[in-house]
Amino acid sequence: MQKSAHMVIDRELPLSEVDKRLYGSFIEHLGRAVYHGIYEPGHPLADEDGFRKDVIGLVKELQVPLVRYPGGNYSSNYYWEDGTGPRELRPKRLDMAWRTTETNEIGIDEFAKWAKKVDTDILMTVNLGTRGVTDACNLLEYCNHPGGSKYSDMRIKNGVKEPHNIKNWCLGNEMDGDWQLGQKTPEEYGRLAREAAKAMKLMDPGIELVSCGSTNSWIETFPEWDAVTLDQTYDYVDYISLHRYAENPDHDDANFLAGTVEMDRFIHTMICVCDYIKAKKRSSKTLNLSFDEWNVWEEDVSEMPDPPWQIGPHLLEQVYTFEDALVVGLMLITLLKHADRVKIGCLAQLVNVIAPIRTDNMGGIWKQTIFYPFLHASTYGRGIVITPIITASRHDTKEFTDVPDIDAVSVYNPEADELTIFAVNRDLADDIVLTADLRSFEGYRLLEHIVLENEDLKAVNGMDGEKVTPGKAEGRAAIDGGSMEVVLHKASWNVIRLKKEA
């Protein structure tokens, strides 16, 4: 018997406009993300500044509006001054987070130049691990003050007259984790982050600040860490961060695809904590979320170099499968379903390190499987989220119960008068016929039905060719008045685009 599902999309029930920063990403001084990633002087496609033009091209294709920098764990022992001034005078430093040698060839000025080349803004992370308030303010002064002060004049002397005007700042990284240099108790971090935030906003009231939230939903201190820290920082920050990496350690594919159920709970719980502190303080301010690290990350990829203290070694170079692309699609759907509170998102990371873009040293470049769902969401997921009401069959997995076979979200773009539906069929065995009630969008025609599908869940892309690429589904979708019927193949990512008839 053919499986079926039903969906209602009503334009009178909008959730929120999508903040463009939801499609941000992340570059850390880790592995080959910077060196042999975005920066490789001597490469045939390197520009006058040593940046790879082929990488720039693919980043621009993804339309990434925000890139978190320089970490990550790296930021908890970050000495930003080392990456300024004449390159020949910059010191090499041992990076204890990843046990590599940092040459400091790329610092904040060079990264800001690269960011302009790819049309993106920077989400800057300050070191609240081994440093503190003074250094955070010094970096802000260097980046944002126009001139006439010690650190702004240092920037000008270094050849950068105009300030970088970085508007988004993270107050440290994963300070709840015992893997972090300078790990803090929630009481310690809350006070430090509050004082840093107060000082930074005195210097530049126009910036927005992200307070460290719990690293993941299963860390022992969640959600108490968030309540304790926000009790001190709530009045001074604009967001709290969340991080999540999906894994499939038991090679249980159904359970892997169900994992966004927990991601949804994580977001919901964090919203509840924020609103509890809001109520406790009798505040009129609503705190939003920054999901500034998320992706699939399996534990079998090399995390530390052997031997240590190499420059730009191969680390965390996840080879992504078709199945991983489905999970990334499901994570994007989950973020969009919370667009009313999740305003910043950073796919971690962007190049080589758990990334949609991979390069060979002095060689070629290719798109990993996860490149495509992110590309589709970034391209077509701009506008107003309308959360559909879905009736579909459900299943249980090893860890999760009542998992819907279909997960979907819709985004309405009023300027283009287009409606896009993103949908994943989690069912590994059966196609599903989805009937959509589109009476509030009557008069819309089908533009295209893009699919990502493959009979082999473990299919990958590489320098030798791409086995997982999007295609056009012909004849699977039909619209009749205010109703649409579409066939969603088993284990598939679907982008269904509709447009108002002229």
Catalytic choice (110, 293, 418, 453): 293
Contacts of 39 (CB under 8 A, 6+ apart): 50, 51, 52, 105, 106, 110, 114
In this structure, what token pair is assigned to residue 116?
Answer: 């302009």
10 Å CB burial of residue 99 (0-12, 13-18, 19+) is middle
The answer to whether 420 and 496 have CB atoms below 8 angstroms apart is yes
**Beta strand extents in 96-254 (DSSP E only):** 100-102, 121-126, 168-171, 208-211, 239-246
Strands 418-425 and 66-69: unpaired
The catalytic residue among 28, 40, 102, 174 is: 174
Q: Is 174 a catalytic residue?
A: yes
In this structure, is the dihedral angle defined by the CA atoms of residues 357, 360, 364 and 369, taken in order, positive or negative? negative
CB atoms within 10 A of CB 362: 12
- DSSP per residue over 385-429, as a string? EEPPEEE--EE--SS-SSEESEEEEEEEETTTTEEEEEEEE--SS
Pairing assessment for the beta strands 418-425 and 406-413 based on DSSP bridges: antiparallel
Active-site residue, 293 included: yes
Q: Which residue has the tokens 């001084």?
A: 29
Angle at 258 between CA 253 and CA 260, to 5 degrees: 130
Q: What is the 3-state secondary structure (H, E, C) of 434-474?
A: EEEECHHHCCEEEEEEEEECCCCCCCEEECCEECCCCEECC
Catalytic residue list: 174, 293
